[in-house]
Homo-oligomer: A and B are copies of this chain.
Amino acid sequence: MEIQEALVDQVLIAIRKIIRAIDLHSRKLIKSCGLTVPQIIVLKEIEKSKAPTVGQIANSVSLSQATITNILTRLEHRGYVTRTQHDDDKRRVVVRTTEKGKEVIGQAPSLLHDKFISSFENLKDWEQLSLISSLQRVAWMMDAEDLEASPVLSPGAVMPIDPYKLELERSLQSNSSKNKEVK
């Protein structure tokens, strides 16, 4: 029982270290390319799904609408995106990248530390898959809370892991359509 608690603590500690590492990396990017990780993610999403609305971006990148509005305001001020009213539905705002915006994403660096990426690439295949599977599993276990009235988890039931295997396989099959930002 106490061991369980110590282990759960370890989970939180490890996650907070990861969060901090990602945040620090994001701040370094500001100096090297003038954009933060969230800004690059949003810019890329706009490029990927041509001329999306604010809400669509929010759904795609899993952030609140208010956050996207916030980030877009900054990107717009720097001339990387434009906001125009939707023709049919005037409540909607259509977002597009400018030429300047396209240019800056083209040369945007990797969203994860170079050291992490090289370390990751040096792992054996099964180790890579195991890492990703673990991360996705944790993400899923945390996400479950929001699914009110989710499928019954009987006490003692083993966590389903299949969704992640599926997601992983899907990503492997569709990777040819991904943009290359990692050299």
Which residue numbers of A lie inside 8 Å of B, CB to CB? Answer: 2-12, 14-22, 24-25, 62-63, 110-124, 127-132, 134-139, 141-146, 153, 155-159, 167-168, 171-172, 174-176, 178, 180-182
Contacts of A15 in B (CB 8 A): 18-19, 22, 135, 139
Closest to A155 in B: B122
25 contacts between A and B (CB under 8 A): A2-B175, A5-B182, A6-B172, A7-B129, A7-B172, A9-B171, A10-B132, A10-B171, A11-B132, A12-B112, A14-B136, A14-B139, A15-B18, A15-B19, A16-B62, A17-B139, A19-B22, A113-B144, A114-B145, A116-B145, A118-B155, A120-B141, A122-B157, A130-B130, A130-B134
Top 8 closest pairs, chain A to chain B, by CB: A134-B134, A6-B175, A21-B142, A14-B135, A17-B139, A115-B145, A113-B145, A119-B141
- Give the contacting residue for A171; candidates B7, B139, B142, B157; CB below 8 A: B7
**Copies of this chain in its oligomeric complex:** 2
Asked if B10 and A136 make an inter-chain contact with CB atoms under 8 angstroms apart, the answer reads yes
A-side binding surface: helix, strand, loop or mixed? helix
Closest residue of B by beta carbon distance from A157 = B122
Q: How far is the CB of A14 from chain B (nearest CB, A)?
A: 4
In the complex, which residue of chain B has the Cβ closest to the Cβ of A173?
A: B6
Known: A22-B142, A180-B2. A11 touches B135 (CB 8 A): yes
B124 and A158 within 8 A (CB):
yes
